[in-house]
Amino acid sequence: MNYIIGMIGDVLGWMMYFCYHILPNYFVAIILFTFGTKIVLLPVSLWVQKNSIKMVKMQPEMNFIKAKYYGNGEKISEEQYELYKREHYQPLADLIPLALQLILLMGVIDVINHPEEHIFRGNPGVLDTMLGSLDLSSVPAEVGGIAFLVPLAAAFSAWFMCYIQNKINVLQSEQGKLNQLGTMILSIGLSLYLGFFVKTGVGIYWTFSNLFSVLQLYFLNIIMNPKKYIDYEALEKSREELRAASAFERQNKKKLFEKDPYKKKERADYKRFFKDYEMQLVFYSEKNGFYKYFQNIIETLLEKSDVIINYITSDPNDKVFEMESERFKPYYIGENKLIVLMMKMEADIVVMTTPDLESFHIKRSLVRKDNEYIYVPHDVNSPNLTFRKEALDHFDTIFSSGPLCTKEIRKREELYKLPEKKIIEWGSSVIDNMIQSYYNVMNRGEKAVRQILIAPSWQKDNILSSCIEEILENLQGHGYRIIVRPHPQFVRHEEERLNHLRDKFHMDERDDMELQTDFSSNSTVYEADVVITDWSSIAFEYSFATLKPSLFINTPMKIMNEDYEELGIIPIDIELRSRIGRSVDTDQLATLPQVVEELLNNSAFSKESLEKIRNEYIYQIGQSGEVGAAYIMERLAYFKKKHEEEDD
């Protein structure tokens, strides 16, 4: 470390050397040197100013996102990530000036501690270190007296800089009062420390550095005026909407706190959970409806073992509470209490569908290091493309949907030298159950009319947000019955858009087109002859359950991991688009009738062909419950034996 600081000091020493020889006065040389550093770093400051303008320019859209998804931190993070990527915004850019300032500070301290080395560089000379009666080579805390003016000047300059920044800095002026105050206190505190406990010359440098920063800020605002780039009217409107959402949320939380019927249940369930110190197996579900991902495994465990299933859900209205029995014990634990509960987890095995273990609020147990965390996927999509980069790194065991999933996980372990996980060739409970449900409804006889199901995702630029009207215009009148089935979240947030669509195509008055918002039955999924989607996993579930083709609209792909290509493996989301169906670009929607006919009549998409593809890409068709339960029972037996040996 001393070597690095010395190198920085050598570089800065040359600058101080020239400054002193231009104006051979130590005090003036320090000021000139400080001004020179601002000139040298001006390009960086310009880049940071430009980046800050981007942030404030995006602020209205960010506020609207926060208002729209208020309380849904994960969704807000996803939308902000997409926004940053679109605008090429670098969130860490504003830390660069601070980092450079600290690097400069270390070098300046080295220069001022050894002026004879850096300024004279071995040549004899007398260094004037006095400014009147103030010795610039002294430490104010040691000499006192007039030297105390230096830390006071440094503190004042820090306050003045923060005051001006809070007024005119494009980014800091948009921060909350609390953040502004915190920054100011930190800056003044650092300045006082530097002024009191390092040499007076460093305090002089720091004081003028702050003052020159103010001048630089005015200069930056002149050559790159934020008012030319930022829509302040939209910014204020977005703030009002965010304040309204925040007030609504606070009001609701207050009501819930006062009259929440679930608070008492949560406290009771939390206490009941920790009464069982010999708990073996825990499943965690984020909300109602997630039970379907565990269903086959749990039912097999209940049938073929005597293990007790402890099922935590963060949804107080989860249907699993209707299933409670001596061997199936559901608990309601909200997300706040869940944080502590997970850190105190003592169960042998924890099974969950929630990725990003350790990355966000769900952590591995702090009281036990040998329990096993198993990840069960929602769907057969690529974990490398559709998850954050490190989403599965902290699990011990992965229930893999198919060979491509396994290949991606192993390649990532190899690339990043990660510990090798256990990978179970598991399959998909959702597909297994859909296959069974399809067999139960498939014998209803032939339909008079071919049926097309349009089932988009809930990502940005999905079919319903971008091109649904053009799709319907091209498909209507060709003898198909068309059913538009939005994602439930789209129904929740885009009611006005759906009403417009219903009215424009007179869907309530015709038999060949329907907007379906009742999700209580999947019969329309099974009865469809072709499903049209964008990047939704419903295509794989539909095609592998019914052995019928899918048609993909090439809307912008949702990418959670920008580095997904580094593995050199084509994700299943991309590879299967050309195997179980056809893809159509958004500027080729006029060809949809011809593509649909090809899918219905081409032998490449026959039941036999699709069944072969299904067996190639998905493990253990029809057996996921048995495979998952068998592994868990094997591991529980291992832990039981281990505990017995420890007791002996």
- CB-count exposure of residue 56 (10 Å: 0-12, 13-18, 19+): buried
Q: Which amino acid type is present at position 417?
A: K
Digit-coded pLDDT (tens) for 363-396: 999 889 999 999 999 999 999 999 999 999 999 9
pLDDT for the residue 566? 95
Please give the helix or strand (H or E) that residue 453 lies within, else none: strand 451-454
pLDDT value of residue 540: 95
Instruction: Evaluate whether 214 touches 43 at the Cβ level (below 8 Å).
Output: no
What's the burial of 224, exposed, middle or buried (CB within 10 Å: 0-12/13-18/19+)?
Answer: middle
Taking Cα atoms as reference points, which of 88, 67, 183, 216 lies closest to residue 175? 183
Residue 499: φ, ψ to 5°: -65, -40
Cα 339-342-348 angle, rounded to 5 deg = 175
pLDDT, position 133: 61
Going through 239-352 in order, the beta strands assigned E by DSSP cover 281-285, 309-313, 328-332, 349-352
Q: How far apart are CA 606 and CA 609, in angstroms?
A: 5
Sign of CA dihedral 196, 197, 199, 205: negative
Distance of alpha carbon 626 from alpha carbon 297, whole angstroms: 7
Residue in this structure with the two tokens 């110190």, named with its chain if needed: 277
Q: Please state, as a whole number, how many other Cβ atoms lie within 10 Å of the Cβ of residue 372.
A: 18
pLDDT beneath 50: ranges in the chain: 124-125
**For 56, which DSSP code?**
H
Q: What is the pLDDT of residue 2?
A: 56
Cα 180 to the center of its chain, rounded Å: 26
Structural contact between residues 556 and 461, judged by C-beta atoms closer than 8 angstroms: yes
Q: Which residues have C-beta within 8 Å of that of residue 1, sequence separation ≥ 6?
A: none
pLDDT score of 124: 45
pTM value is 0.65
Interatomic CA distance for residues 358 and 369, integer angstroms: 14
Alpha-carbon separation of residue 137 from 8, 192, 436, 541 (angstroms): 20, 17, 84, 75
Q: Would you state the pLDDT for residue 394?
A: 96
Structure tokens at 254: 């207050």
E strand map for 123-163: 130-131, 134-135
Cβ distance 580 to 605 under 8 Å? yes
**Whole-number Å distance between alpha carbons of 113 and 138:** 10
Pairwise CA distance, residues 4 & 299, whole Å: 62
The pLDDT, as a whole number, for residue 26 is 79
SS (H, E, C) 58-127: HHHHHHHHHHHCCCCHHHHHHHHHHHHHHHCCCCCCCHHHHHHHHHHHHHHHHHHHCHHHHHHCCCCCCC
Find all residues with CB under 8 Å of 533, minimum gap 6, and list them.
454, 455, 456, 457, 463, 539, 550, 551, 552, 553
Pick from 238, 233, 227: nearest CA to 53: 227
Backbone angles phi, psi at 346, to 5 degrees: -115, 0
Give pLDDT tens digits for 308-351: 999 999 999 999 999 999 999 999 999 889 999 999 999 999 99
